[in-house]
Amino acid sequence: MSATAAIQWPAEAIWEAVSPALPSFSVEILPQIDSTNSELMRRARAGQTEPILLVAESQTAGRGRLGRDWLSQGASTPALTFSLGMPLHMADWSGLSLAVGVSVARSLHPALQLKWPNDVWFEGRKLAGILIETVNIGSTRYAVIGVGLNIGPREAVGLSTPPAWLQELLPGIDAPQALQRIAAPLVQAVQVFETQGLAPFLKTFATRDALAGRAVTLSDGTHGQAQGVDSSGALLVHTDAGLKKISSAEVSVRPV
Ligand code: BTN
């Protein structure tokens, strides 16, 4: 057996599961790219706006929220890194990251929690991050939904939140198997969000809300107690100055 045996990705099975409800959908696997989000944003700006799942076996310049890097280095097993690009016809985008997080967590394990607005946590550590970007295309928008998921043990060096990895919960799982579990339900969840908004996801978010009832600090220094999310997905924080609604994705929230 070659030491560099190619990774077997379930591209066809995912395409077969998704394409009946999304006929122009495709799946593409790349050995390496700077960032799957950057690549789909470039393609969308160049007019390629069909729905696509783009998976990269490695990223050289993975990006996270708030201008941070998303590092794949320091992991014993390659992380799962992919972006789902979809044109979406909707006015209100608020809460999409919550719907995506609910779908990813639901596909993987009942013990996973969601840390507003974009992280999947296990026991207070970060298992996965979600980065959503959009491009205007005429009267509609193209959403690029990027997911980075730790599969095997990784070092905490350089990370703002200690890492968790999926093999803690599902021993032996690899990136292709994780993708197989996540991809088709995620496309379906985004389609549900497009027609019905955040409402169908709120109950599950509440049961998995990692911050609910906890003391938190916002990036502007405000302290308070997290009290769930409202119907638009804004985080509700009880502070000395009253109830604050945090809807800006630019705000970071840390449990104390
Ligand atoms: C975060 O934790 O702030 C979000 C991390 C998102 C990482 C994923 S990996 C696949 C996709 N491509 C990127 O460059 N970023 C996202």
Which atom of ligand 1 approaches the CA of 82 most closely? 10
pLDDT, tens digit (0-9, with 9 covering 90-100), for 7-54 = 899 999 999 999 999 999 999 999 999 999 999 999 999 999 999 999
pLDDT score recorded for residue 1: 37
Cα 201 versus chain centre, distance:
15
- Render pLDDT for 66-92 as a digit per residue (tens, 0 to 9): 888 887 766 778 899 999 999 999 878
Ligand 1 pocket (Cβ < 6 Å) reads 35-37, 59, 62-65, 68, 70, 81-83, 118, 129-131, 146-148
Domains and CATH numbers, the chain: 11-208 (3.30.930.10), 215-255 (2.30.30)
Angle in degrees, CA 119, 83, 96, rounded to 5: 50
Instruction: Please tell me whether the overall predicted TM-score, pTM, comes out greater than 0.75 for this model.
Output: yes
| 125 CA from centroid of ligand 1 (Å) | 16
Q: DSSP string of 120-149?
A: EEETTEEEEEEEEEEEEETTEEEEEEEEEE
Tell how far the Cα of 240 is from the centroid of ligand 1, in angstroms. 34
Mutating to test ligand 1, I would choose from 30, 35, 133 the residue with most ligand atoms within 8 A of its C-beta, which is 35
Which residue's CA is the nearest one to ligand 1's atom 9? 148
Determine the distance separating the centroid of ligand 1 and the alpha carbon of 30, expressed in angstroms.
16
